[in-house]
Amino acid sequence: MKRKSLMAGNWKMHTTAIEARSLAADIARKCPETTDREVLLAPPFTVLREVAEVLSRTDVILASQNVCWEEKGAFTGEISPVMLKDCGVSSAIIGHSERRQIFHEDNALINKRVLGALSFDLMAILCIGETEEEQENGKTFAVLEAQVRQGLQGVEPQQMEKMVIAYEPVWAIGTGKTATKEQAQEVHLSIRRLIEKIYEKNIADRLRILYGGSVKPANVDELMSQPDIDGALVGGAALDAESFGRIINFI
């Protein structure tokens, strides 16, 4: 089954309003006019409205880098799905390795965020990935299975249409290390087979699974040539319009 690719740029804690508008405009101009892929940008919360305005006449998807599970309330420092939708957001990244590693978000909290996003009709991008220590100890598949099963707890089969999974090995993020295309394909296939066990084959076949971990212009073509890699979650290279432009125009 041919799935539409999703090329996502996570700007993390970068860009002021002026910088964000300029970067978004530059990236939008580089988006291909093909129908086989989608482009997504996830700027900081503070510039969502500015980027939404720039992207308003394009097909680029606007995403947030996190989302709370409640509509409103006493949740200092959080941002609700309603607030995000009011800014023009239609998707949310959830469980990024930096949220897990730096801010100690566990699978239970990440699951609450996933359910909150879906309940307000946001596309949820669930990030999973193993640390270098877990990889070296042969725990990759056990860790990923736990993150998938717990992250999707309570997600109904029909809601999987709004789900994306992003595999980002922690050892490859910002380190310059990248899984080989064979390593990445093996993991992506295992995730798809796990989704088939949890749900059914049709759902697994339709699910988009992205790779994240030092994706660059130099390696995007070989990664995207793999049958179970449906896109990329890009960090540093997404802050440079030339680099990200090359990535979203992969061959």
Q: Judging by DSSP bridges, how do beta strands 61-64 and 5-10 pair with one another?
A: unpaired
Would you list the DSSP string of 17-84? HHHHHHHHHHHHHH----SSEEEEEE--GGGHHHHHHHHTTS-PEEEES---SSSSSS-TT---HHHH
**Catalytically annotated residue among 50, 98, 130, 168:** 168
The identity of residue 248, as a single letter, is I
**Catalytically annotated residue among 96, 98, 105, 130:** 96
d(CA 122, CA 11): 19
Q: Record the tokens describing residue 83, joined without a space.
A: 């607030």
Active site residue 168: yes
Helix axes 107-119, 140-151, angle to 10 degrees: 40
Active site residue 96: yes
Would you list the DSSP string of 126-165? EEE---HHHHHTT-HHHHHHHHHHHHTTT--GGGGGGEEE
Task: Mention every residue, 6+ apart, whose C-beta is less than 8 A from residue 28.
Answer: 54, 55, 58, 60
Segment holding 187, helix H or strand E: helix 181-198
Catalytic residue set: 96, 168
